[in-house]
Chain A
Amino acid sequence: MIKFDEIKRAVLVSIWFMFLTFPIMVIRVNPVEHIVEWRWKNMVLVGIGSFLLSFVWNYLMKRKELGSKEAEAGEETIKISLFHRALNEKKIYLPALVIFGIFTISFPFIFSMYQTTIMVTALIYVMLGLGLNIVVGLAGLLDLGYVAFYAVGAYSYALLNYHFGLSFWIALPIGGALGAIFGILLGFPVLRLRGDYLAIVTLGFGEIIRIILENWNEFSFGPSGIANIPRPPLFGMDLSVHGSTTYIYYIMIVLCVFTIFVVNRLQDSRIGRAWIALREDEIACQAMGIDKARTKLTAFSLGATWAGMAGVMFAAKTTFVNPASFTLWESIIVLCIVVLGGMGSIIGVIAGALVLVLTPEYLRAFSEYRMLAFGTLLVVMMIFRPGGIIPNVRRTYKFESVKNADKS
């Protein structure tokens, strides 16, 4: 039952928000023509909206507190989500994987070219997300300049093709390698830096790359960018736009599967464990004999490799690159993919990329409000589900009871 106190609180909240939003929501000015428009309707909307939302907020907060109290009391026995249980059950996940595989393969035939193009974009972000996942999710290094490596990849294909006529298939590994080299280049100076300093230096690095691309006209053709980059050829055949979109889609699928495979193997390898150890405690990790510098540099360079390859794909897909595609917001979106999906969790990152890229595409009807919704989503997710959509489950030893062992 809603108590009187809560209603009073909600009224106060709505009055506060009506006050807060008054100048920006109600008054609209046009200083050029000296017109001031008063929109009192908005004030009423804000009042009613915040009154109702305050109840929702309180309810969710109460539930959250209840949850954390339970966890403290130890009542919450390791609650593995339904999803993870399904993942461990062969009977469920094998057919699911097959259905999913068939769906992905037949996607370009079921849906229109428009849908396929959107899907290719989403897959590029999956790759970027998985790459950044190595740096942020596994090694715990907050990188806000990830988009720089994406730009390096895209420009390396564009420029190599423009000057030397190199084809896509040669440019793809070169883009990845250049990404890795730039990753090490960034990695060296920041080895000694801690969390937030690292974030700002990487952010600066990203901006430096973008500004150089924008201003060094002789090298990168400035803000106008490079056009007419060829799409990937199929055995020397020139494909129609439709055909090549489908073709790029399949290349992307293969690349994504390859990425997932590699990242998955890396996670359980020696170096992957070293990353996780580094994330958890740097000093303890060094005491165990892990070379901090080498581990950090491999994280940066391996993460950047995927960004470089994704960049080559991006250039091949859009056939046009310019510096405006590589702003700071791009880095932030990729970071959001990783965090929203669940740091360190591969399936989570894939889900995060699909949600964050596809939702705005399909909500074009509300396109004005989508960035607003995006911001809200980030805040709400962090408060009420900080582990991400599909949180990472850490590898743990399970002791099966003696009874079970006897039976089996």
Chain B
Amino acid sequence: MDYFLELFLGGLTRGSIYALIALGYTMVYGIIELINFAHGEIYMIGAFTALIVISVLTLMGMNGIAMLVIAGVVAVMYSSAYGYTVEKIAYKPLRNAPRLSALISAIGMSLFLQNYVLLAQTSDFLPFPNLIPDFEFMEPYAHIIGSTEIVILITTAIVMILLTILIKFTRIGKAMRATSQDKTMAMLVGINVNRVISVTFIVGSATAAIGGVLIASHVGMINFYVGFIAGIKAFVAAVLGGIGSVPGAVLGSFVLGWTESFATGYVSSDYEDVFAFLFLVLILIFRPAGILGRSEKNKV
């Protein structure tokens, strides 16, 4: 039973991380119907920025949780700035172009950002310090779940709640929902669609950066390529839940996290990704629009 619980919580942690990244995919897709391939790179840049800030602050003699908070804030700021800039350069000029063009542009941007970090920094794996302290009250449960995992779960929950509030109850959230339903109509009722899209990219990048800092301190090392792999996984999660739907992305991430966790725990760790993809194929055969996706009716 303990083993089951450990796997369950491990899957939950994994799922939360995927959810933080998948949210960016699904929000962007919901609004401009684009697979933002560069999203994984935004996440990686967030983690790198945090590492750089931590290293500089360590030299200045800081340590502990305060440093992590500062690094996190800077990472979120920079990731958002990158997300905003990427949208302005690579996607905005292609707003009315065929969807495949925008996708290729996104792939190009992903390649560019990866190599930009590779050239400006290094191709080696860099160790990422784990700054989350061990909580004393967690001692009795340490064999099931570590304190890093607890921090990840709590942070994810807070981010989800904030995001739901943002989308459901604020003016800009209303504008986002309107834009995702019908862009032209939103423009007609006086919504600045370009601004809404920018805000979407900024919010998505910010959550990705939070995910980046958390997973980097969980795994303990980063390099320029981590974003791509995590991005693909998160994208699978978003599609699994029904891309374009925010609760779907969260659900899909947890389902993916559990699938991987149980499959590696009970079957074999070599085929972790195979299970994830096979599960995706199975779900899509029976529900072609994802678990929570609306199946669109085509009108002739």
Contact = CB atoms under 8 A, between A and B. Distances in A.
Contact of A24 (B107, B114, B120, B300): B120
Contacts of B58: 34
A32 B124 CA distance: 11
B127 A205 contact: no
Interface centre among A19, A24, A42, A379 (most CB of B within 10 A): A379
- Report the contact-size class of chain A (Cβ under 8 Å from the partner): 35 or more
Interface stretch (B137-145, B159-167, B235-243): B235-243
Contacts of B115: 369, 371-372, 375
A207 B116 contact: no
Contacts of B273: 207-208, 211
Given A34-B58, A208-B278, A193 B112 contact: no
Interface in B112-153: 112-117, 119-122, 126-129
A134 to B, nearest CB: 15
A23 B52 contact: yes
Secondary structure of the B side of the interface?
helix
A160 to B, nearest CB: 24
Given A20-B82, A23-B52, A378 B111 contact: yes
Interface in B236-273: 236, 239, 243, 270-271, 273
B55 A376 contact: no
A204 B59 contact: no
Interface in A210-236: 211-212, 215
Given A24-B116, A196-B243, A212 B104 contact: no
B97 A386 contact: yes
Contacts of A25: 120
B109 interface: yes
A136 B48 CA distance: 36
A201 B278 CA distance: 9
A375 B110 contact: yes
Nearest to A204: B277
Interface string B30-68: 000001000000000100110111111011000000000
B232 interface: yes
Contact of A201 (B52, B107, B110, B281): B281
Nearest to A281: B300
A259 to B, nearest CB: 23
Interface in B18-39: 29, 35
A197 interface: yes
A203 interface: yes
A353 interface: no
B104 A339 contact: yes
A57 to B, nearest CB: 8
B78 A31 contact: no
B85 interface: yes
B245 to A, nearest CB: 13
Contacts of B113: 375
A195 interface: yes
A24 B45 contact: yes
B48 to A, nearest CB: 6
B288 interface: yes
B177 to A, nearest CB: 21
B50 to A, nearest CB: 9
Contacts of A351: none
Nearest to B116: A372
B121 A24 contact: yes
Contact of A197 (B51, B74, B232, B289): B289
Contact of A376 (B97, B102, B108): B108
A32 B108 contact: no
Contact of A382 (B102, B236, B270, B284): B102
Contact of A375 (B55, B82, B100, B112): B112
A142 interface: yes
Nearest to A332: B107
Contacts of B271: 211-212, 215
Given A193-B288, A201-B284, A204-B280, A372 B112 contact: yes
B274 A211 contact: yes
A368 interface: yes
Nearest to B56: A36
Given A195-B99, A207-B277, A378-B105, A371 B111 contact: yes
Given A34-B59, A36-B59, A375-B115, 12 more contacts: A24-B49, A28-B120, A31-B129, A142-B100, A193-B284, A197-B289, A199-B35, A215-B271, A282-B298, A372-B112, A379-B109, A382-B94
Interface of B: 29, 35, 45, 48-49, 51-56, 58-59, 74, 78, 81-82, 85, 89-90, 93-94, 97-105, 107-117, 119-122, 126-129, 232, 235-236, 239, 243, 270-271, 273-274, 276-278, 280-281, 284-285, 288-290, 298, 300
24 contacts: A20-B81, A20-B85, A23-B53, A23-B74, A24-B48, A29-B52, A42-B120, A189-B281, A197-B239, A197-B289, A200-B235, A201-B280, A204-B280, A205-B277, A335-B104, A339-B100, A369-B115, A369-B119, A371-B115, A374-B108, A375-B108, A378-B104, A379-B90, A379-B109
Shortest beta-carbon contacts, A-B, top 4: A378-B108, A375-B112, A204-B277, A375-B111
